[in-house]
Each structure stands twice: as structure tokens, then as C-alpha cells.
Structure 1
Amino acid sequence: MSDLTGRTALVTGASRGIGQAIAARLAAKGAMVIVHFGTDEDGATATVGQIERNGGTALAVGAELGVDDDVATLFAGVEAGLAGRPLDILVNNAAAAPAGPLGVTTRAEFDHLFAVNVRAPYFIIQRALPLLRDGGRIVTISSVATRMANPAQTSFAMTKGAVETMSMTLANELGARGITVNAVAPGATRTATNGSVFEAPGLTEFIAGTTALNRLGGPDDIADVVAFLASDAARWVTGQVIDASGGLFLGPRA
């Protein structure tokens, strides 16, 4: 029997990439997965179809994050999908991409980053708590950008630092209910939608050469870590940031 059989999960930003892989992995382990999408309804439908073809159960719920009433819209669909059942697992994966270095980031881009990457997961958790069972799981996707000085991602890294702090403090608050709260920090992760980025001459080789495990990551690498944190095996892990980068930029390699 899969270790998440009978449980329910909400994965935001699950229409493609890492979110899609997380949704598929949780479903493969037996969870009923609510696949959230912002604008890519076709991608969410494809995620649900993939899960169902593999014998799992899923449904898609649309809500653009970072706008007024985003959480209310999301949870109208979530509650309809749960049909009175509790929520067991919440994965905050949806995020806006880096806006650029300090010299070019506009105030609108900065505000959008924080609205999607920080405000949305904070208030999604707030809204989810009455639905989340004692002993539930909250996982938020961060980034190794929080421990690397990349001038092109300053504002993005700031948002991810915020959710790491949020995860630590909420772990302390929610521990009395047996709810674990953790963050997962991917490194360079190649997906079907960002693959063209890694086609720049020499980029893949450079990143692999600065990664302890000597390759780019893939969505399944991240999904496996999230699935572990969602399982009973991770019952004693909370308030942590799990680096899932393959050892990106750990130091000089001989």
C-alpha cells in the first residue's frame, strides 16, 4: 500500500515543471491531489490526465495568485474538491520568476514578486489551517538563491528568504498540532518549460561542474524530497530548509 493512501493534497502551481512532478508523485503514493493553476489550464488538465492514467485521483482548480481575492478564489475550488474531507498536505510551489537585478527591477515587478512568492503562500496557509488535519504537512518551495549571491536574483532571493523564515516560525507555532512545516530549496532544475535556458553554450557544463553530483537537477529530484516530507517517515522533521540542489556551489572542486 502506498504511504499516502486516503490523504488529500493541494499543490499550487502544478500545471507544469516541478509542481507537476510533485502532484504526480503524491498521487502515485495514494493521495488525492488538487492541482492548482494560475493561467495554464491546459497544463493543469494534462497533469490531472497523467495522474488518472496512472491510477490516481486528481482535480484542477484555477486561481491567479498575487491579485485581490486570490486565496478566496482558490479555496472555493479547494473546498468543493475536498467535499467535506480534511486537507492533509499543502505544498506551496507556485512562484513568480526573478525580475532581474537591482538596476532594472521596477516597483511593479518587485511588488508582484512579493505578492505571489510571499503574500500568497502566507495567506494560503492561514486559510488552509482550519481544513488541515492535526499531523498534517506544509511544504514550501524555496531556492538555493537564498545562500548564493546572484545579483540577477536579489528580489527573488529576498522572497525565498522570507518563506524560509515563515516555515521556521510556523513550525514552532503549529508543532502542538503535530503539523510539520518545512521548505525545500532546489538548485538548477531543468524542466520542459525552462529547458531553452540551459541551451546557452557552456551553461549546462558550467553548472554541472559546480555541482557536487555533477549534473542538473530534474523535477523528479525535487518531487521525491517533497514526497518524503509529506510522508509519515518525516514526522520528526520540521522547521527545516532541505537543500535539494545536488550540492550546487558547495565549494571548489578538485
Structure 2
Amino acid sequence: MKIVITGSSRGIGRAVAERFLAEGHEVCGIDVLPAGVVHPRYTHCVSDVRDAASLPEIDGVEVLFCNAGTQNGGDDLGTNLVGAMNVAEKYAASPVLRSVLFNASASAVTGQEFPAYAASKAGVVGYMKNLAIRLAPRGVTVNAISPGGVLTESNAPVTGAPALFQKIMAVTPLGKWATVDEIADWVIFLTVTNRSMSGQNLLIDNGEKDLNPTFVWPED
């Protein structure tokens, strides 16, 4: 299958791209950064998802993973919400599309963290439901994942601060954060295996929301 992944140069996006490639698929990555993946079945386009006109023309898109995002990056609404909408509206027209998945955030459910970030991710979930309704007659599944803490490069300031990370683990029921490979497992399941669930937001937060909603984060 042909897979399009935004935010594919690092973190969750790179791990997901590598997983799809390992399973024999063709991957087209879109990122503002240079390619973080080198593979004969991987193509890369440097593009800003906020600029719909800059998105590449890609034929035969079967799976779309809208993953590009920023956290407190100065334009969370533009990148996280408008960017996701730009990408989805462009590639949803593919006649062979079978699934769309958005990377939202646990903050979309809890409202915690930075205001614009939480609002942007909640907007992603709302838009996902709208798109799911529109694409259902074509048999296309549309869902979102909402990870809590994930062990990525962007979270290094937190995981690399032992005292802070220990406080976070103390209020995280399962006592851990997800790895990018675990998130990739969920992405594969929801976009390839799943054919019956649509319009849903899957919370992957190690039990934080329902078992212990205490929130710990670095102070400004």
C-alpha cells in the first residue's frame, strides 16, 4: 500500500514510517525537516502543512497518517489543527483511500498543558469526527490516537530531568511512558487491520486520565 505520513522525520512519525516500510509498504513522508528515513521505498517532501499550496501531489494514497505537530511552538493551532485539515482535505480525494488516522493528544481529552496546544488537539478530534462522517459512505475508516507521554526526542527535556520525570512517574498509574514503537503498533492496527471502527479517539495514556488525573509539567 501507499502510505502518506506527515511529521515523518523524527519521533512517532519516523517510527511509523519505518514500521510501514518493514512491512513492505511504500511511504511518502512530508515534513519541514529533511528526511529522517533512508529506504528505497521511501520518498520525502519538505513542506509546511500550514501551507496547503505547498503540499505535494501524490497519487494512489491508501493510508494517511496526519502526525505533524508542535507543542507550545508559537503556532499550535496553525500546525496541529489547520495543518491536519489541509493534509486530510487534499489526500482524502484519493479514490483508493482506505484509512485516515490523526495524532491528537491526551490533552485533547483532559484540557491540560498549554492552552493553544490543548485547543488545537481537541479541534483535531472534532475534525476527525466530521471527516469520518463524510468518508463513511466510501468505506474509509477515520480515527485518532491521543497519546499521553511518549519517549521521543522532543520530550527529552522532561525525561532527561530525573527529579521531574520521577514526579511524573509517581502519578502515572502504569509507571511508564509509551515508546514510539508501541505507538507504531497502534497506528498499524488502526489503519491496516481495523475495518470496522471509525470516528473514534483512542486514548493511550498509561491510565493517567481515568486512574489518576494529577498533572505534572515543568513550570515556565
Q: TM-score, normalised on structure 2? A: 0.89
Q: CA contact under 8 A between 2:172 and 2:208: conserved in structure 1?
A: yes
Alignment-derived partner of residue 220 in structure 1? 181
Change (3 A) 1:251 1:121: same
> For residues 95 and 10 of structure 2, what CA distance do their matches in structure 1 show?
25
Q: Aligned partners of 1:193, 1:155: CA distance in 2, in Å?
A: 18
Summarize the alignment of residues 70-89 of structure 1 with structure 2, pairs less than 5 Å apart.
70-76=51-57, 79=58, 82=59, 86-89=60-63
Residues 8 and 89 of structure 1 are in contact (CA less than 8 Å); yes or no, is this contact kept in structure 2? yes
Unpaired stretches in structure 1, ≥5 consecutive residues? 1-6, 100-108
Alignment size in residue pairs? 213
| CA shift for structure 1 position 237 | 0.8
Identify if the C-alpha distance between structure 1 residues 27 and 132 changes in structure 2 by more than 3 Å, giving closer, same or farther: farther
Is the helix fraction higher in 1 or 2?
1
How has the CA–CA distance of structure 1 residues 132 and 164 changed in structure 2, closer, same or farther, with 3 Å as cutoff?
farther
Partner AA of 1:246 in structure 2? N
Q: Which residue of 2 aligns with 1:210?
A: 171
* Displacement of 1:193: 4.0
Match of residue 217 from structure 2: none
Q: Deviations over 1:34-66 (max 9, x none)?
A: 01111x21xx1x31x2xx2xxx62111110232
Aligned to 1:172: 133
- Structure 1 SS opposite 2:44: strand
Decide which of 85, 93, 115 is 1:122's aligned counterpart. Answer: 85
**Cα deviation, residue 22, structure 1:** 1.1
Q: Deviations over 1:121-142 (max 9, x none)?
A: 11211111222515x1100000
Note the C-alpha offset of 1:247: 1.6
Structure 2 gap ranges (5+) = 214-220
What value does the CA root-mean-square deviation take over the aligned residues? 1.9
Alignment check: 8 A CA contact 2:172 2:212 kept: no
Residue pairs, 1:1-254, within 5 angstroms: 7-38=1-32, 40-41=33-34, 44=35, 46-47=36-37, 49=38, 52=39, 57-66=41-50, 70-76=51-57, 79=58, 82=59, 86-99=60-73, 109=74, 112-134=75-97, 136-150=98-112, 152-231=113-192, 233-252=193-212
Larger radius of gyration, structure 1 or 2? Answer: 1
Give CA deviations for 1:181-214 in whole Å, capped at 9, x if unaligned.
0000011111134323322242222222222322
Alpha-carbon shift at residue 120 of structure 1 (Å): 1.5
Shift of 1:119: 1.1
SS at match of 1:190: coil
Tell me if structure 2 keeps the 8 A contact 1:211–1:249.
no
Q: Secondary structure at the match of 2:65?
A: strand
Q: Partners in 2 of 1:149 and 1:193 — Cα distance?
A: 20
After the TM superposition, which parts of structure 1 deviate over 3 Å for at least 4 consecutive aligned residues?
Answer: none
Change (3 A) 1:155 1:234: same
C-alpha change, 1:132 and 1:205, in structure 2 (3 Å) is farther
Distance in 2 between residues matched to 1:203 and 1:75, nearest whole Å: 41
Task: Give the Cα separation in 2 of the matches to 1:203 and 1:250.
Answer: 22
